[in-house]
Structure 1
Amino acid sequence: MKHFVVRHADAGDRHRWKGPDDERPLSRKGRRQAEGVASLLGGEPVGKLWSSPFVRCLQTVEPLAHRLHLPFDAAPELAEGTGATGVLKLAMNADDNTVMCTHGDVVDALLDHLRGDGVDLGKKPRCSKGSTWVLDVSGGRVVAAAYLPAPG
């Protein structure tokens, strides 16, 4: 089974945003990146879309949801500050390939966890906005991971 863990697209500078951070939307660049994510993953056999409830994550998966004709659910387990546990729980309990949109700190925690489990992440794992990590799960564990740079 494959799980695509997407870091949300560009949402500008959090220090310049005046509202609550969970309401910060994508920038123009981020909207282009979200369309790129939809193009990149739109041909994949995905059965479930989850997103952090933060606006920037919801907006990142929206074009993909439209392309795949799938609804997407907000998953608090993917919110900023939740660590790797939520991503792993959703992945291990899924009965289909998934896309999960989350935050940089969650992806970093996930990569640390995978490295600790002996998963080869390459020399210097990256996590740029709009990028994706493809997790291959077999036998109840992540057996491989591959990085897809942010489109465009």
Structure 2
Amino acid sequence: MKRLVQVALIRHAHAGQRSAWRGDDRLRPLSARGRRQAEGLLQTLAIVDAVRILSSDYLRCTQTVEPLAQACRLAVEDEPALVEGASLEQVLRLFGGFRAGAVACCTHGDVMALVCEELLRSGLAKRDALRFEKAGTWLLDLVGGTLTAARYLPPPAT
């Protein structure tokens, strides 16, 4: 029997301007606004009973899901398929490997754009509904590794 898996695909929260950061971009932290968004995700994602929390290893991503991980008493797992530059194939292979329950995944805008294009291609979202704001979340249902439903949750108010 194929099981339902729910993926909460989160774009990292606000981390200031890339061009203003002088160091390694992987180490760019959340801004004060981003930290408020990360805390606000607890309320946004209250409907998700996560059994795992995966993230790009970029600091801004792990910081985005740390409050959720603490609330769920879970560790944040680094996931290469969620880093900037990951391909849609990598992301879908990751999703296909989930067996049951809900998984929260934090990633970047370029990866979110790829997933949104897949939602459009598969008829699960309309072009005018495709959004992926910082700290925004797509709730994705998968059955047997296949996307079957999607809905967008806007970022928490800050």
- TM bucket (normalised to shorter chain) is over 0.9
1:72 aligns with 2:73: no
5+ unaligned residues in a row in structure 1: which ranges?
Answer: none
The one of 98, 101, 104 aligned to 2:109: 104
Pairs within 5 Å for 1:46-125:
46-95=50-99, 96-121=101-126, 123-125=128-130
Residue 133 of structure 1 corresponds to: 138
1:123: Cα distance to partner?
Answer: 2.5
TM-score, reference length from structure 2: 0.91
Kindly indicate whether the alpha-carbon contact (under 8 Å) linking 1:51 and 1:101 is maintained by their aligned counterparts in 2: yes
Kindly indicate whether the alpha-carbon contact (under 8 Å) linking 2:120 and 2:127 is maintained by their aligned counterparts in 1: no
1:44 aligns with 2:52: no
TM-score, reference length from structure 1: 0.94
- Tell me how many residue pairs correspond in the alignment: 152
Q: Could you say what secondary structure the match of 1:97 adopts? A: strand
What is the percent sequence identity of the aligned residues? 41
Moved runs in structure 1, 4+ residues, more than 4 A?
Answer: none
The one of 15, 20, 23 aligned to 2:19: 15
1:43: Cα distance to partner?
Answer: 4.6
